[in-house]
Amino acid sequence: MKTGRDLLRDALLNRGTAYTAGERLRLGLTGLLPPSVETIDVQVRRVLDQVYAKHSNLDKYLHLSAVQDENETLFYRTLTQHLEELLPFAYTPTVGEACLQWSHLYLRPRGLYLSERERGRFAALLEQWQPRDVRVIVVTDGSRILGLGDLGANGMGIPIGKLVLYSACAGIHPRQCLPVMLDVGTNNERLLSDRCYLGVRERRLQGPAYDAMLEEFVVSAQKIFPGVLIQFEDFSTGNAFQLLERYRGRACVFNDDIQGTGAMGLAGLLAAQRVTGRRMDEERVLFVGAGNANIGIGSQIIAALMRAGLDAHEARQRCRFIDSTGLVVTSRHDLAEHKRAYAHAVRFTSDLPEIVQAFRPTVLIGATGKPGLFTREALNALARHTEHPVIYALSNPTANAECTAEEAYAHTDGGAIFATGSPFAPVTVYGRLRLTGQANNAFIFPGVGLGVLASGAWHVTDRMFIAAAETLAAQVTADELAAGAIFPSAARLREVAVPIAAAVAQVAYEHDLATEPSPADVAAFIGMHRYAPVYPQESLGEELEPTPA
């Protein structure tokens, strides 16, 4: 049993000023803490006061990270009680700024860094990890962090942040979460020349050496943590698709950028149809950007079109993709493998308004990292053919969004149904206040992970993501739709994770993928077994005499 300063240094156990007088005496804490004994709610109030005393979003992020490093229960209590207001500082968009400066901000280790130098010892290093009951790993190689590109080891902020959402939203215990950075080098010249850069100062591994490193990691993780769920995060497009195909049948894995984003995108469209009145087989979708996110959304929407009665060819005809060169067409010889299935035998052009005018989409989805790409001309062309176009500007952080909320509404005569990857403030359109729904994967992957773990599923399937999308769409309230949002408010992230988890678990039970017995009420069972950020009952007893705030 830890006591004294060792106890206060353990973020998973530390309760800070909430220890009672008797606990302080028994655990060797007398004199190590201020004399006041406080409730966790008083501690939360102090954290909020300190966060809002900071002048920049990055300083707010750093303070929350410091609380997490000192007292995880307090960190998660604060976050879960104030999800909507704190999420922009705890994760997107501020995590992007933190990753850009990661090597200069570094104070304390969190997570596991594995590089080629440790090859042959991955299993041993994973086995040394404490605590040992890891159930979820989020892993990246830092090659495509948000819309910021190759950040190498600086990308560790993403696995850490994703796992924060697993605990805050899904209720998976922090001790069961492991962030991993596979440091395979970087091709970012700025980082390679940065004297403070913390990663391997070499060019990125490629080919067989890269594949061997990933293989050792996945095999070792399965061996040391049997049944562990591995989430691939922010890998470059080519590697992301290859890794997903290589391991999806061999391990309990998924790629959030492809499958999580795909389910999120489909969910928003399904919710929007409650406003537009359109059927799925009436939608025409133009994707600007042909990377992980849009290909993931496209595959989910095509599957939904086929479920609506279209054959595979007809479903694909309803979707067009534009990449950095222009329209994805069959006459091009430069298409990567993952794009070829979405190429069409039409005339090539790179002019977005012209493509919109010719294709007449009902849905416009951007995931390019290029701010302002959705110009007045493109949005005007969209509105000419569709009374209520659905527009996603998904690029993170906020500054990279393809258009702003004001632009989306102004250039579609107020008819747009708009969602973004990062939060936007409400705007007034023709005298009416409109909310901007945040198309955030945080609505999908925590619930998917929770459902997989609750059912003991040994495989993550596309059908699970379809179930997650349909469930999320159903969670959007009539009031939220009326206000212009096609996703629930961020304040409801923890609430909506349970029905999503139940839907995912139900798929596992129905398709013989579960290793855990099916409870009579799946949602109730899942809700009862989620991590709740509270101190042990002993700290709530008679000895506690809180000091007035």
Domains in the chain, please, with CATH?
Answer: 4-91 (1.20.1370.30), 97-251 (3.40.50.10380), 277-435 (3.40.50.720)
Q: 158: which 2 tokens?
A: 């993403």
CA angle at 351 for the pair 345 and 355, rounded to the nearest 5°: 50
Residues 427 and 408: their CA atoms lie apart, in Å, by 11
**CA 364, CA 78: separation in Å to the nearest integer?**
37
User: Tens digits of per-residue pLDDT, 252-300?
Assistant: 999 999 999 999 999 999 999 999 999 999 999 999 999 999 999 999 9
- Helical H segments across 456-488, by residue range: 462-475, 478-482
User: How far apart are the C-alpha atoms of 144 and 162, rounded to whole Å?
Assistant: 15
- Report the pLDDT value the prediction gives residue 36, as an integer from 0 to 100: 96
pLDDT at position 549 is 36
CA separation, residue 416 to residues 21, 265, 362, 403 (Å): 59, 16, 10, 12
The per-residue pLDDT for 276 is: 97
Quote the distance between the C-alpha of residue 316 and its chain's center: 27
Structure tokens at 201: 């100062």
Q: How far apart are CA 518 and CA 65, in angstroms?
A: 37
Listed as ranges, residues in the chain with pLDDT below 50 are: 540-549
Give burial (CB, 10 Å; 0-12/13-18/19+) of 375.
middle
| Residues 324-375: tens digit of each pLDDT | 999 999 999 999 888 999 999 999 999 999 999 999 999 999 999 899 999 9
Helices (H) and strands (E) in the chain, counts: 25, 13
Say if residues 434 and 226 touch (Cβ distance below 8 Å): no
Angle between helices 445-455 and 493-510 (to 10 degrees): 40
Q: Are strands 432-434 and 427-429 parallel, antiparallel or unpaired?
A: antiparallel
Catalytic residue among 19, 61, 76, 91: 91
Look at residue 545 in the predicted model and tell me its pLDDT. 41
pLDDT score at 543: 42
Which is catalytic among the residues 60, 61, 162, 166?
Answer: 162
Q: Is 91 among the residues known to form the active site? A: yes
CB-based contacts of 313: which residues, under 8 Å, 6+ apart? none
Amino acid 542: pLDDT: 40
Is the backbone of residue 484 left (phi > 0), alpha (psi -120 to 50) or beta?
Answer: left
- Residue-level pLDDT at 398: 83
pTM of the model: 0.93
